Structure 1
Amino acid sequence: MATEAFEELVEDFEFLDDWEDRYRHVIDQGKAMVPLDEAFKVPATKVHGCASQVWLQPKIENGVFQFDGDSDALIVRGLIAVLRALYNGVPVAQVGQVDARAELGRLGLNEHLSAQRSNGVRSMIERINEVALAAA
């Protein structure tokens, strides 16, 4: 189960031949995001378990999950953009059914992220699932 935005990202990745190009594309995705307002960069929105500073600001409107996020690291900001493509627009009751590991595997991210980055992504996914579960 993936959103249309994530499917478009998968298609983009299919045209990129090597990991360096994919890595740059992830960073470009992060650069294209609107920065999170400083008012939301507080302990309540900070994600622990990430080597970088990471903040996620979830919003649930009409039963649909959305979130904004930010990081002080370019690649992590890009990973937030990838997770936004995966989760934004999913009905909140279905967020827990998203197999993020499998979906990110379609991009080749599972094999190319450092252990620290993988742990950070896992922490972000856990936070997303916790928020959705509490709201469902």
Structure 2
Amino acid sequence: MNSELIDVDTSRRRTVDLTDAVREFCASRGDGLCNVFVPHATAGVAILETGAGSDADFVDALERLLPRDDRYRHAHGSPGHGADHVLPGLVAPSVSIPVMAGEPLLGTWQSVVLVDLNRDNPRRSVRISFLDG
């Protein structure tokens, strides 16, 4: 299996598009599966449309589902940080994408995004791996 770790800054955005990094990583490979994994307890990876408002709508929906208040037992960090630890139950920490001839088989409007509502940690690592088919 081939694998690469990339660093991502989430200080300015709650979703960060990883699609170009995934395409670049897969470009020199043949057929197989690409896995994108975030090794953090407060972030996830999703496939969704970006740039047309869907990514902002997604973050808004998550913030309505996971309000930043004092209801959480996990209470260290900034107010509502417990919500950050619930996020990976809703947005998985990884996605797998089929790859053919080095091209991730994403739909026309699909993008791979890192989802990070955690305001306490703006630096994330993302592991992109490839398993030959």
Please give the TM-score of this superposition, normalised by the length of structure 2. 0.29
Bigger proportion of residues as strand: 2
Which has the bigger relative contact order, CA under 8 A and spacing at least 6? Answer: 2
Please give the TM-score of this superposition, normalised by the length of structure 1. 0.29
**Structure index of larger Rg:** 2
Bigger proportion of residues as helix: 1
